[in-house]
Amino acid sequence: MSAIFPKWTNRLPLMLIVGGGLVATAVVGGTWYYATPKYTRVGYMPIQPVAFSHTIHAGQLGLDCRYCHSDVEKSWFSNIPSASTCMNCHNQVLKDDPRLELVRESAATGKPIPWVQIHKTPDYVYFNHSVHVNRGVSCVECHGRIDQMDEVMHAKPFSMSFCLDCHRDPAAKLRPLDKITDLGWTPNADPKVAAEKQRTDGQKLLHDWKVESLQNCSACHR
């Protein structure tokens, strides 16, 4: 019989395997990098209807997080305050500033300001703020340095592994209850000492407070 297939087909299987392998690696690698929450969520910084700067309010002025997000200690939901909270100061400070027009309108008419939601867990996750805030987990662990953000940005990936990293080792993140909203707090100025102190202090809190730090599915997925 004469040669049915041309000679280059001898190398075809090898090329297919190598090529397929490269494509598969690219797809897996690409998905791993681009399609996971670490890439898709971190850095999300939508533009809000009102130019509220946390740097000024929480950073420079030193307002406690709970002044506005007042229900965070009582409920699973951390509330966005209504415009009347803003008007507590802004009925005197920057009274007629055009940037606050929407706020004044909201306080007067009761029409809520449509803030763009940044931090949201999927519907099948039941996260509870009050139990974290009351038990030694600071706002900064999940929300980052909000007091340094002009426009709030999604600082952490909020993937399940992100939650589990802390739940598997809470001693690395626990801090005294009066330091929860002190976002820049470290146990010690010197970073090496701080790491060591966090470990020992955190261990102590974990033990004294009987922190459960649940890892079973029913803790978050009901």
| Alpha-carbon radius of gyration of the chain | 25
Residue with tokens 């999300």: 44
At 138, the amino acid letter reads: S
Which residues, 144 to 163, sit near other proteins by CB under 8 A? Answer: 150-151
Residues 88-107 that bind other proteins (CB under 8 A): 98-99, 101-102, 105-106
CB of 37 to other proteins, least distance (A): 11
What φ, ψ does residue 6 adopt, rounded to 5°? -65, 160
Q: How far is the CB of 194 from other proteins (least distance, A)?
A: 21
**Does the footprint of other proteins cover residue 46 (CB under 8 A)?**
yes
**How far from chain centre, in Å, is Cα 152?**
10
* Cα distances (Å, whole numbers) of residue 170 to 154, 201, 209: 22, 11, 12
Binding residues vs other proteins (CB under 8 A): 34, 39-41, 43-49, 51, 71, 73-77, 79-85, 98-99, 101-102, 105-106, 109-117, 120, 122-124, 126, 128, 130-131, 134-136, 150-151, 176-177, 205, 208-210, 212, 214, 216-219, 221-222
